[in-house]
Structure 1
C-alpha cells in the first residue's frame, strides 16, 4: 500500500498512514473523543516513541502493557485516554497477530464482497458498525480496496463526495466540509426531542 492520505494534516504522519495499513487501522481506532487530526497523527507518534519507522503488530502485541501505556501517556499524550487506548491498540494488534499473522492487509486481502469486508472489520477489537463502515469507505475511496458492493456495505459513508467522515478528507478544504457536516449533525441531534 502506498497512497497519499491527508488525515493527520501533518506530512510525516500522513506519509506513514499512506504506506502502513496497520497505522491506518490504529489511527481509525484512536479516532474517538479527540479531533481527527490528533487521532491520525497518533500512529506516527507511537512509532517514533518506539524508535521505529513503522508500527509492527507483533511488537505492539508483545509489549509490556504498562510500558506501552507509558508510550501513549508521555506528554503530549497520544489520546485523551492514553491508558485505555493503549490497551485497545494492543488488543487490535493481538487480534491481527492471531488472525492475520500480524498483517493488517489480511483484513481486506482476498475479500469477495463489501459485506464480507464489513464483517471482518466489525470483528476487530474497538471497531463497531460505524467505525467499520467509515474505514471501509476510506479503503474504497482512497486506498483502492473496492470489493463488489463496498459502497453499499459502507452505508452513507460510501456515497461519493458525501463529506461525512475521514473517508472524504483529501486536504484542508475537504476537512472543513467534513467538520461542517459533523457540526450540523451534532446540532440537529441536540435540537431533536428525545
Structure 2
C-alpha cells in the first residue's frame, strides 16, 4: 500500500499501519475503550515485542495464548484489557489464516460491491457492524479500496467531509475534529438518557 496513515500520531506506528493491512485491521480491532492513538499504536508495539518489523498472521495465530496475552500486558500495556484483546487479536489472525490464507487484502481484493465488503468485514471476529463500517470507510477514504456502493455501505462514516471516525483522521487537526464530534455524541447520549429516565 502506497499510503500514509496518521492514526497513531507516532511515526513508527503510523509507518507500520501505512504499509501493513493487517496492522491497520488489528488497530481497528483494538479501537474500543481506549484513546484512538493508543489503539492504533498497538500493532507496532506487538510487532516490536515479537521482534518483527511487521505483523505475521500465521505467527500470531499459532502463538501460545498465555504467552501472547503476557506480551500485550507487559508495561506499557497494548490495551486497557490486554488479556481479552490478546484473545481477540489471535482469533482474528486465526480467521484470516483459515479464510484468506493470512492475506488480509483477500478480504477486499475481489469484492464486487461495498455491501459484499461490509459483510466480509462484519464476519471478522471482533468486528460488529459499526466497526466494519468504520474500517470500510477507512479503506475507501484513505486506502483506495472503492468497490461500487462503498460509501452507502459505510453508512454515515462514508460521507465525504465528515469527521466521525478513524476513517477521517489525516493528521492532528482532523484528530481533534473527530474527538470533538465524539464528545458531542457522548453529551447527546447523556442528555437523551436523562430525558428518558423515569
Whether the TM-score (by the shorter chain) exceeds 0.5 is: yes
Aligned to 1:186: 186
2:58 aligned with 1:58:
yes
Alignment of 1:60-75 (within 5 A): 60-75=60-75
Counterpart Cα distance in 2 of 1:2 and 1:19: 7
Aligned to 1:168: 168
2:18 aligned with 1:26:
no
Counterpart Cα distance in 2 of 1:49 and 1:80: 17
CA shift for structure 1 position 161: 1.5
Misfit runs of 4+, over 2 Å: none
What do you get for the CA RMSD once the two structures are aligned? 0.5
Alignment of 1:45-194 (within 5 A): 45-192=45-192, 193-194=195-196
Counterpart Cα distance in 2 of 1:111 and 1:38: 31
Structure 2's unaligned 5+ residue stretches are: none
Aligned to 2:9: 9
Structure 1's unaligned 5+ residue stretches are: none
Deviation per residue, 1:116-163 (Å, 9 max, x gap): 000000000000000000000000000000000000000000001110
Give the 3-state SS of the residue equivalent to 1:42 in structure 2. helix
**What is the TM-score normalised by the length of structure 2?**
0.97
CA shift for structure 1 position 30: 0.1
**What is the TM-score normalised by the length of structure 1?**
0.99
- The count of aligned residue pairs is 194
Counterpart Cα distance in 1 of 2:3 and 2:68: 28
